[in-house]
Copies of this chain bind each other. A is one copy, B any other.
Amino acid sequence: MSARDNHQAEDLRRLRELLAEISDLNAATALMHWDQQTYMPEGGIELRSQQLATLSRLAHERLVSPELAELLERLEGSYDPSSEEGALVRVARRDHERAARLPSRLVAQMARAASEAEPVWVRARAASDWGAFAPHLERLLELKREAAEHLGYEEHPYDALLDLYEPGARKSRLEGLFEELKAGILPLLRSIAPGGRAEERSAPLVGDFDERAQEEFGRAVLTDLGYDWSRGRQDRVVHAFCIDLGGPQDVRITTRFDPRRVDTALFTSMHEAGHAMYEQGVSPSYARSPLAGGVSMGVHESQSRLWENLVGRSRAFWEHYYPLLQKAFPGSPLERTDLEGFYRAINEVKPSPIRIDADELTYNLHVLLRFELEVAMIEGRLAVPEIPEAWDAKMEEYLSVRPEKAAEGALQDIHWADGLFGYFPSYSVGNVLSAQLFAAAVRARPEIPDEIGRGNFGPLRGWLSENVYRHGRRYEPDELIERATGAPLSAAPYLGYLREKFGALYGCR
């Protein structure tokens, strides 16, 4: 071994050590967040937020440290880019640069602005008072525009923000994707719900559904899907989430229960289990390194959507599970509902002003609206006071519904109050990609749909593990998608899926 090789091996060892330290600090932060949402006593909030600030700062200091910068500098180009070592250096460099480009003064300003904005947003939403929230949004936008300049971009400042969630994404490409979605979805929606109204189908989902029975049924389903309870757990929270605690060995999910609805906890659980199976499926050797975790928000969301919608809202799935569900809730409205009625109920198309209540067909129109407004806001074409009106107009245009008040319109989401701009498009990337990956899986293993109908998810999970999960962040998102599906991100499989499914459900194919 040459002296140069020796130095290189030592640099790589030290890089791994430093990255593991950052991962461990982030895992402590993640555990503190998890605990805060699940079990922490209320009196601990202030103390916890100070502890979180310290731990985040220590992780950030390491990520932007000159030592890490120099190691990455020296190791740059030392490894075949297609090797694991090459990927580690590339991903670490990306994380380092994203963090190092933002002045710590700006990071602190953004954190403070968001923490000041959030409680104001809560009150403003309760009172439907856009004016109260507006100055905070103004400030956050200003800081985000500044951040975009520091982060850098080739085409458009919005690209710099997108890139935080979707590495390599461009506004220009997303515009094309959304145009395709709009052109495919709007005619379908109009034939199903002319004037924004469709037949009511979801009545059988409402009734008294014992929470313990819901929990038991959900756990059985998640076990069948392949969520590994020996490396995870499920707890109750107000807003469901999935969180990894440093590697695929501990990936936890949460859910919420509505005793009046049979579908809330179940689909929430399948959604979070989709995220979790992705993280659990990452190569165990990537634990405590930046290669662990999902490669982008969009790919992550593709997995929650795939398991929630393409599996969980499919007829094949319920051919197996519906008799079991009926048995789990004796005396409920399900007793008087046949499989077809239930399948129609969980796939009801119902334009609503509220994104989180949206069905599969209308969901992307909510995202499109936010994407268009965000771009206009970042460009300065849309002034903050005019947002509610612009929002309502687009809502009417796309969904033929009009929010009755700002709480149901531009104030409905927490994202902007948290300073998240460029985040919404990932939801649509996830939807689109869920169908593209599912189609590729079925091409490779044609038995998948039949096996789902038997409650056997092994072939689907196996294909996803092999082609997506195990790689973690090893490949760029675009490369991962190409490798897995043989094509770049494309709306065609998703639109085909929507047309076939909802065409059949509403007789308008």
Contacts and interface: CB of A to CB of B under 8 A. Distances in A.
Nearest to A232: B41
Contacts of A233: 39, 41
Contacts of A54: 20-21, 24-25
Interface string A31-67: 1100100011111101110110011001000000000
B47 A246 contact: yes
A50 B230 contact: no
Contact of A50 (B44, B55, B288): B288
Task: Count copies of this chain in the complex.
Answer: 2
Contacts of A27: 47, 51
Given A31-B32, A250-B48, A288-B50, A231 B43 contact: yes
Given A28-B28, A58-B58, A230 B43 contact: yes
Contact of A43 (B20, B25, B58, B228): B228
A140 interface: no
A293 interface: no
A249 B42 CA distance: 9
SS of A interface (majority):
helix
- Size class of the A contact interface (CB-based, 8 Å): 35 or more
Interface in A56-81: 58
Interface string A437-455: 0000000000000000000
Interface in A225-247: 228-233, 235, 245-247
A241 to B, nearest CB: 16
Quick one: which of A43, A230, A252 has the most chain B CB within 10 A?
A43
Interface in A241-269: 245-247, 249-250, 252
Interface of A: 20-21, 24-25, 27-28, 31-32, 35, 39-44, 46-48, 50-51, 54-55, 58, 228-233, 235, 245-247, 249-250, 252, 287-288
Which 6 A-B pairs rank lowest in CB-CB distance, beginning with the nearest?
A44-B250, A43-B231, A24-B54, A28-B28, A47-B249, A24-B51
